[in-house]
């Protein structure tokens, strides 16, 4: 699991991360990886929210995502021929962030059995 379900990262926990350029570079690469690895999208979104001021707690979350990706390097999206039915699913958490009260949402769009977005 790339991030524990009950983990809420905070801007105020931990010491400032000494190498913000490295943090931004790694998180940017993870953002790109979410195109073929939607299973890490939520976790990557969480660490992206602190690109302006990352701390050591955020870096530990990034390392956990990297460990997850390394352990399942052969996983990803696999497209198979089949029916052409379009299905969409969504979910939202309104005001779920305990610090900013921001809402979060997500969706998945399938063409047949293939996740396309």
Res 65: pLDDT: 93
Rounded distance between C-alpha atoms, residue 91 and residue 70, angstroms? 28
Both 85 and 33 in a single domain?
no
Both 71 and 93 in a single domain?
no
Res 76: pLDDT: 66
Q: What is the mean pLDDT of each run of 10 residues along the chain (117 residues)?
A: 71 83 93 85 88 89 92 75 89 81 84 82
Q: What is the pTM of this model?
A: 0.66
Res 1: pLDDT: 67
Residue linked to tokens 């696999």 = 78
Q: What's the number of domains the chain is made of? A: 2
Range of the domain at 84: 78-117
Both 66 and 88 in a single domain?
no
Rounded distance between C-alpha atoms, residue 72 and residue 32, angstroms? 17
Both 111 and 58 in a single domain?
no
């Amino acid at each position: 699991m790339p991030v524990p379900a009950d983990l809420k990262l905070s801007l105020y926990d931990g010491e400032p991360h000494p190498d913000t350029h490295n943090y931004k570079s790694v998180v940017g690469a993870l953002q790109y990886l979410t195109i073929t690895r939607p299973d890490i999208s939520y976790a990557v979104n969480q660490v992206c929210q602190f690109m302006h001021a990352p701390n050591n707690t955020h870096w530990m979350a990034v390392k956990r995502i990297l460990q997850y990706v390394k352990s399942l390097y052969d996983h990803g999206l696999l497209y198979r021929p089949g029916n052409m039915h379009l299905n969409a699913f969504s979910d939202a958490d309104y005001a779920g962030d305990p610090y900013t009260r921001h809402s979060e949402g997500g969706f998945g769009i399938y063409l047949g059995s293939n996740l396309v977005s």
